[in-house]
Amino acid sequence: MPCKAVIFDLDGTLLNTLEDIVNTLNSVLYQHNYPQHSVDACRFLVGHGMRELVKKALPEEAGTPEIIDSMLEDLLIHYAENWNVHSRPYEGIAAMLDELTAQGIKKAILSNKADNFTRLCAEQLLSDWHFDMVMGHTDTFTHKPDPSGALFIAGQLGIEPGDILYVGDSGIDMLTATRAGMFPLGVLWGFRPESELLQFGAKALVKEPGEIITMLMNCPGCPGNSASR
């Protein structure tokens, strides 16, 4: 029996948003006379929420609450103006979402990105598909890998966590899925390497979005399943 729902991470899983995030971050760092970061370096800075992104991007000696607050305020302003310059769904995402829709599989998004930006991304870049829930970070739930957000979505969907496929590109996502009792499926086209996904509990890995459909239909939650590619 296939899983009954899929929860997706957003950045690095459904959407390639890295370039817009990096450009915005570096613009703010430059304005404040702090060192900038390469795209590859930023792959390991994102994923924990926007405040943590600022904290990680600053030199250690500059990471005071006052400086972080000021930088975060500027980052949010700049990102609101530049979030969709380059951001797009990854190749193959559209066909995969079409197939999930055709099969009547419930779909949700759970991101550590601020809730308003998460919803904006879904509304403007994923508007061709209905998601039963779209949830970014708010003060209601702790950031992933705390499982409370994922479990809340499961409750709202009326589906047991063990019947949900959780799809993401980072160790944070794999930990979230494991702690929520969902099946952790890692994608290899995102921001983080294969080694991280396996280290933090991925039970399977996929190289392209179409493979998500195969995983969904092959009952990946069956005990004893091991990581595969």
pLDDT in tens, 52-93: 999 999 998 998 999 999 999 999 999 999 999 999 999 999
Amino acid found at 167: V
The answer to whether position 172 is within a domain reads yes
Residues 73, 94 within the same domain: no
Could you list the residue range(s) of the whole structural domain that residue 42 is in? 18-82
The answer to whether position 228 is within a domain reads no
Q: Per the structure, how many domains does the chain have?
A: 2
| CA 23/CA 18 separation, integer angstroms | 9
Q: Mean per-residue pLDDT for 86-112?
A: 97
SS3 164: strand
Residues acting as catalytic residues: 9
The answer to whether position 229 is within a domain reads no
The pLDDT value given to residue 3 = 86
Tell me, yes or no, if the pTM score tops 0.85: yes
Secondary structure element (H or E) that encloses residue 197, with its range = helix 194-199
